[in-house]
Amino acid sequence: MDRWGKLQTPLVVAVALLGGIIAPNVALAMALPGDEFVLTFPQLDPDTKFLSEYGVSKPDGRTHRGVDMFASRGSEVVAGADGFVQKVQQGSRAGLYIVLTHADGYESWYLHLGSFADGIEVGDPVAAGDVIGYVGSTGNAAGTSPHTHFEIHRNGRPIDPYPFLRASFERWVLSQQIEAGETPFR
């Protein structure tokens, strides 16, 4: 169990106890981080490498607003959740990039793509796991190892995507283990 997992149980109990005193539904209303936006891991390369690096300073003085997911060039990038295509664009720094909008004010951003999925257009509905593009190194990532710079925005502002990525990666690995019969439960 990780640090968050250890914290979670007493926290839920405390919130539930408080909720019982103040109002019966407070415990349910107080979503824990990551509970309301459940991410599907947005790259299909199981060897994807990523670190917690949101908010670090970059050499040009700007702040890193996302997490870089390093993977094989050309591997699939998929929608992190159900939603709609908001942008399919090219920027000098971002390279080829896609922005998806989701429920509850969330957006997911995918930068430096090598190419877009065939026919993807602004306004298209997407389901979690749909292929939207392919890993590359366009824009200011030219010359670096292929990676997708991934961001999550909430109500117009970037938030740290790492906890979402980590949880979704763990769910993905576990589901593969279950499918392969490598766990004692089903």
Q: Please give the residue ranges that form the binding site for Zn ion (CB under 5 A).
A: 68, 149
The nearer residue to Zn ion, 52 or 177, going by C-beta atoms, is: 52
Q: Name residue 47's amino acid.
A: D
Quote the tokens at residue 56: 């670090």
The nearer residue to Zn ion, 68 or 107, going by C-beta atoms, is: 68
Q: Helix, strand, or coil here: 125?
A: strand
Minimum Å distance from CB 53 to Zn ion? 8
* Phi, psi angles (nearest 5°) of residue 158: -65, 140
The nearer residue to Zn ion, 6 or 157, going by C-beta atoms, is: 157
Minimum Å distance from CB 166 to Zn ion? 17
Quote the tokens at residue 154: 């909430």
Minimum Å distance from CB 75 to Zn ion? 17
The nearer residue to Zn ion, 90 or 177, going by C-beta atoms, is: 90
What distance in Å separates the CA atoms of residue 11 and residue 31, rounded to the nearest whole number? Answer: 11
Minimum Å distance from CB 68 to Zn ion? 4
Quote the tokens at residue 19: 């909720």
Q: Name residue 39's amino acid.
A: L
Closest chain position to Zn ion (CB)? 149
